[in-house]
Amino acid sequence: MTDADVRRVAELARLTLSPDDVALFTVQLGSILAYAETINEADTSEVAPTSHPLPAESALRDDEPRPCLDRERALANAPDSSAGLFKVPKVL
């Protein structure tokens, strides 16, 4: 990681960095990238590719109808309501 790399990343993120920040982040980002390289050394040859750490059937529930809140309970904590509806400020 070089100072130029850090300045480029800061530019992409629309950040203004002082020279001291550039020096600090060059060291810190270099350390992070070096650590990430150690992860690449792990032997994953026998690990099957996956898109989710859990089986999909345990991550999703069946889509079954169930009772919802009645209107009064839904509006109970609303800061403002009118005619049984949430009342919000106009967006311009």
CA distance 48 to 79: 51
Instruction: Establish if 36 belongs to a structural domain.
Output: yes
High-pLDDT (> 90) share of the chain, %: 64
Q: What is the pLDDT of residue 61?
A: 72
Cβ atoms of 84 and 71 within 8 Å: the answer is: yes
Look at the chain and report how many structural domains it folds into.
Answer: 1
Residue 11 lies in a domain: yes
CATH number, residue 36: 1.10.20
Assigned domain for 15 exists: yes
With 0.75 as the threshold, say if the pTM is over it.
no
Q: Could you list the residue range(s) of the whole structural domain that residue 18 is in?
A: 3-40
Is 87 contained in some domain?
A: no
As given in the structure block, the two tokens for residue 78 are 């609303």
- Tokens representing 30 are 């270099």
pLDDT digits (tens, 9 = 90+) for 9-52: 999 999 999 999 999 999 999 999 999 999 888 898 998 888 77
